[in-house]
Amino acid sequence: MKHDLYQQAASLFGILSHPGRLRILDELRKEQACVCHLQAVLERPQVYVSQQLRVLREAGVVTDRREGTLVYYRLADSRVEALLEEMLGSPGERTCVAGCPCPGCQAEARPEFARLDQAADGTGACCPENGGGMSNDLLRQAVRQRYSRVGRSGGCCGPAVSSCCSPAPQAAAEGVGYSEAELAAVPEGANLGLGCGNPQAIAALKPGEVVLDLGSGGGLDCFLAARAVGETGRVIGVDMTPEMIDRARAAARKGGFTNVEFRLGEIENLPVADNSVDVIMSNCVINLSPDKPRVFCEAFRVLKPGGRLAVSDIVATAELPAELAADLDLYAGCVSGAAPIDALERMLKEAGFAEVRIAPHDESRAFIRQWALGLRVEDFVAAATIEAVKPRDADEHR
Ligand SMILES: C[S@@+](CC[C@H](N)C(=O)[O-])C[C@H]1O[C@@H](n2cnc3c(N)ncnc32)[C@H](O)[C@@H]1O
């Protein structure tokens, strides 16, 4: 019995010895708070705060309560409060965060803490609880920022614990299914280790075909496709990040590719003519779109009748815990924007596609785990191949 008590105390002190967790608890003893309030106060990424809250919740030190679209955290009981009083003295004043709907944050908002509420769309959104709850502009802004940074630096997009990218692009690409020979055949700078599969493996490209890559990044898949379709074929990469487009164009020049072009644009509004493409590829991008039905409608529009979709992407296999679903870093890191397979099937069929096949890959757990160490995101999402065909008689039915 005593032994159990000592063990409990030791584990509690272990948890409290972490400065970030202690700071969170210090804030929570003033008043309950939502994730973005704590994020602003700690000045740490959302994913970091979520990770610490998870540890605290699992240890029974804090509890959470959902109210509408928000989740609030508070100290579990007065014993924790008393222990904190012993360790830290009396609680200070609560810090107000501009735009945060936490009780106590309504008045005297301090603009230096405003983060999410300063989103481009000016919605004042704070602490959204899932991708759908966040404004589309906010999500796009997070995605754009991350991949602009990666496009510029060519390195990992960090923060440290969340990203569908790797500090070692060669190893990351081999890990998701590219061969050494494939990677050796693309110009330097094209592979950023951002994929979650190898769409070439399912695209079965033929000489002379026109290929479109949605979210082409540094151009890796475009260059591989360019070799497969040859001089009589053509490849178009579309990406919304100018830094990625610049990088891919530079790589094309370096590699002497004449049958590839890169266009700046959104996959929800493709800068591509109707019925002009044989194959649409995409690698780890559609999960990032807040408007997936529109992506599939656009894909359908630009495909020739009989054209096909060959996509590697991330799908949801279980419902993400609220704090992970609300995490902008995890959204931009290809995790929390993933849709369930049945929802994707429905969207594809509603767009007009036939022969829809979505196959999740169990073995992707190993690399997805690396994207957000310790958060167990691999229990909620998986890499999958997504295939579909635009029926030959499509235009007759539309
Ligand atoms: C995870 S990276 C994948 C890049 C590339 N497909 C690869 O495998 O290396 C996602 C890419 O998609 C682009 N992207 C994200 N959302 C987009 C959108 N809505 N429209 C166009 N590009 C988008 C990003 O700028 C980024 O280059």
321 compared with 364, residue with greater pLDDT:
364
Mean pLDDT of the chain: 85
- Closest residue by CA, ligand 1 atom 5: 217
Residue ranges of the chain assigned to CATH 1.10.10.10 = 2-115
DSSP secondary structure string, 167-210? S-HHHHHHHHT--HHHHHTS-TTS--S--SS-THHHH---TT-E
> Which is the CATH superfamily of the domain at 148-397?
Vaccinia Virus protein VP39 (3.40.50.150)
Indicate the pLDDT class of residue 127, thresholds 50, 70 and 90.
very low
Q: What is the pLDDT of residues 215-244, one digit of tens each?
A: 999 999 999 999 999 999 999 999 999 999
Which pLDDT score is estimated for 394? Answer: 86
CA of 198 to the centre of ligand 1 (A): 15
State in Å: Cα 311 to ligand 1 middle: 13
Residues having CB closer than 6 A to ligand 1 are 143, 147, 164, 192, 194-195, 215-218, 220, 238-241, 244, 266-268, 283-285, 288-289, 334
How confident is the model at residue 153, as a pLDDT?
A: 86
**Ligand 1: centre distance to CA 284 (Å):** 7
329 vs 287: CA distance, rounded Å: 13
Instruction: With a cut of 60, say whether residue 164 has pLDDT above it.
Output: no
- State the pLDDT at residue 87: 86
What residues form DSSP beta bridges with 153? none
Give tens-digit pLDDT for 100-117.
666 666 544 333 323 333
Mean pLDDT of the region 90-108? 66
The per-residue pLDDT for 45 is: 63
Ligand 1 pocket test: pick from 264, 288, 297 the residue with the most ligand atoms within 8 Å of its Cβ: 288
Question: Which band of pLDDT confidence, cut at 50, 70 and 90, is reported for residue 322?
Answer: confident
The pLDDT score that the predictor gives to residue 336 is: 93
Please name the residue whose Cα sits nearest to atom 10 of ligand 1: 285
The DSSP code sequence of 213-276 is EES-TTSHHHHHHHHHH-TTSEEEEEES-HHHHHHHHHHHHHHT-SSEEEEE-BTTB-SS-TT-
Ligand 1 centre to CA of 283 (Å) is 8
Whether pLDDT at 324 is above 50: yes
- CATH class, range 2-115: mainly alpha
CB distance 220 to 186 below 8 Å = yes
